[in-house]
Chains A and B, each alone.
Chain A
């Protein structure tokens, strides 16, 4: 069974940093792209970025490129999201999701974790 579990969320002060983790199991982690999506309270989904299988390609939505860093550890089956200079606008549920494997024609997320809540407030 594919399983993704995010951790590391919580209350953080404005201007501070926070690192989220996503533990993956039930599939061959190093065969898939992985990504992060966030959802502000009562709002829609916002694509943060994605990382390919060997970390040679990492893409970000332009508005978040200078604040967020995506990485992965294939030996630990873990995806990370390092967030810096956090502001109230970053308050959201952060989801880890599995992207396509090799030779996939389309780009979509087929499995999502339950999410971890990040609240930015003083």
Chain B
């Protein structure tokens, strides 16, 4: 299985820029997607194909990377962005990362 590794937690101040990383154990080309999950809610798609912004998602969110290293960037961060962010790969079957919990200072 392709294992996706994410840092467990980050804390930033509103208005700052934050990057959330996801590293794959093997190449997934650009088959990487990002979801936001707020407490008590279902996941919401943010980015697909590594860098494509899902319709309706604010342009503050962006994605980059290919192969094994991927990044989700939020710039600027807003208070409403408090959530857990999951990466998911679809190049070698389908797996999710464990999630990065983003907290606002």
Contacts and interface: CB of A to CB of B under 8 A. Distances in A.
Contacts of B31: 106-107
Interface residues of B, number: 22
A45 interface: yes
Contact of A95 (B33, B43, B45, B90): B43
Interface residues of A, number: 19
A19 to B, nearest CB: 20
Provide the main secondary structure of the chain B interface.
loop
Contacts of A108: 33, 45, 48, 88, 90
B90 A46 contact: no
A102 interface: no
B42 A115 contact: yes
A112 to B, nearest CB: 4
A50 B98 CA distance: 20
A41 interface: no
A47 B42 contact: no
B96 to A, nearest CB: 4
B103 interface: no
27 contacts: A44-B86, A44-B99, A45-B43, A45-B88, A45-B96, A46-B96, A47-B93, A47-B96, A61-B94, A95-B42, A95-B43, A106-B30, A106-B31, A106-B49, A107-B31, A107-B94, A108-B33, A108-B48, A108-B90, A110-B45, A110-B48, A110-B54, A112-B43, A113-B42, A114-B41, A114-B42, A115-B42
Interface of B: 30-31, 33, 35, 41-45, 48-49, 54, 86, 88, 90, 93-99
